[in-house]
Amino acid sequence: MFKGIILALLCGWCLPASAVVILQYHHVSEDTPSVTSVTPAQFKAQMAFIKENEFTVLPLEEVVASIKNGDTLPDKALAITFDDGYASIADNAHPILKAYGFPYTVFIGIDPIESGYRDIMSWDTLRDLSEDGVELANHSWAHDHLIRQQEDETSAQWLSRVEKDLLDTEAEIKAQTGQSHRMLAYPYGEYNLKLEGLLEKHGFVGFGQQSGAAGAHSSLTALPRFPVAGVYADMASLKVKLYSLNMPVLEMSPKNTQLAMGNWRPELKVKLDMHDIYPHQMMCYIQGQGAKKPQWISESEFSIQADMDLPAGRSRYNCTAPSKTSGRYYWFSQAWVRPKNDGTWVAE
């Protein structure tokens, strides 16, 4: 037994690095678009699985602090988030989460609330949730495509406009609820290097919609989340994601998710800490193009590139690899966003 303890201490580097899975929901309803919804029955089953399998559900702000400080997260750490502030969160999700004692975060925009959009929670409802311990965070003023410059707008004017948007949103949430976490969920999951720099300047943490577990190797201005809705709400596939590990990315290029004009087949190069990874068991997936094996440049660096042009709009490269020691999977995703060939954007 003593020998086993010594071996475990000497082989501490063999153990998978701590990670947290952040789930992203929108609607919890039977009457909303399936692509952004889970039913109340599905949601209840998912939360029951999380409870029965002893996941540690943490407040998102605590997760962020742990990653910033380099603290070790509990095994099977989890955070739950909702985007947009739909009424079904209060009506259907909150009672389930409260019964299990699970903390969660809602990312909200100001214009949908103040315009009285259908199915969006009011300030009164949001204040009630806040008093119940729910974190309320920034989703921009009007859920705009933040990376898009307006017609005849310079890059400097665009950045100044977005800066004001995010700071005004944060200030209004604080005025209405007393909360200010400086956490932003990018609308549509779209961000670029300049937007990340803006968040860093003001001490914000950013959350995307690219999949994967977050942890020590994640960028604090582009933390991954697993979207849970539609085909991604299936319990079998969700279980794999719940147990996923933070891919130990040491270096990556390019870092900018917004593709330069004409560069519709980006080559991604990633350098990893390989202590717990079997390189030849890694597999990548090009959204819309299927599985593709990475090309290994060295023992610790690989590249992956689409064979066909990525479509206008949003795409992702996903890569997974089994852990040598735990039987779980490391999961990494890189988001991409591009305009149409004429430089205009897909209408949404």
285: domain CATH number? 2.60.40.10
The pLDDT averaged over each successive group of 10 residues in the chain (348 residues) is 34 60 98 95 98 98 96 96 98 98 98 95 98 98 97 96 98 98 98 98 98 96 97 91 97 97 98 93 96 97 98 97 94 97 94
For residue 320, what are the contacts with CB-CB under 8 A and spacing of at least 6?
Answer: 244, 282, 283, 284, 329, 330, 331, 332
Residues 91 and 239 both lie in one domain: yes
Q: Are 93 and 132 in contact (CB under 8 A)?
A: no
Closest listed residue to residue 187, CA positions, set 212, 162, 153: 162
Encoding tokens for residue 164? 């004001």
345 in a domain, yes or no? no
In whole angstroms, what is the distance from residue 246 CA to residue 244 CA? 7
Residues 140 and 284 both lie in one domain: no
Encoding tokens for residue 36? 């952004």
Q: Write out the residue range of the structural domain in which residue 323 sits.
A: 251-338
**Which residues pair with residue 77 across a beta bridge?**
20, 56
68: domain CATH number? 3.20.20.370
pLDDT of residue 279: 86
Residues 236 and 283 both lie in one domain: no
Encoding tokens for residue 320? 């997974």
Domain boundary among 245, 263, 298: 245
Q: What is the DSSP letter of 223?
A: B
In whole angstroms, what is the distance from residue 314 CA to residue 327 CA? 31
Q: What is the DSSP letter of 116?
A: T
Q: Label the pairing between strands 37-38 and 245-246.
A: unpaired
150 in a domain, yes or no? yes
Encoding tokens for residue 327? 């039987």
Domain boundary among 197, 224, 245: 245
pLDDT of residue 10: 37
**Total count of domains within the chain:** 2
Closest listed residue to residue 295, CA positions, set 283, 287, 286: 283
In whole angstroms, what is the distance from residue 115 CA to residue 124 CA? 14
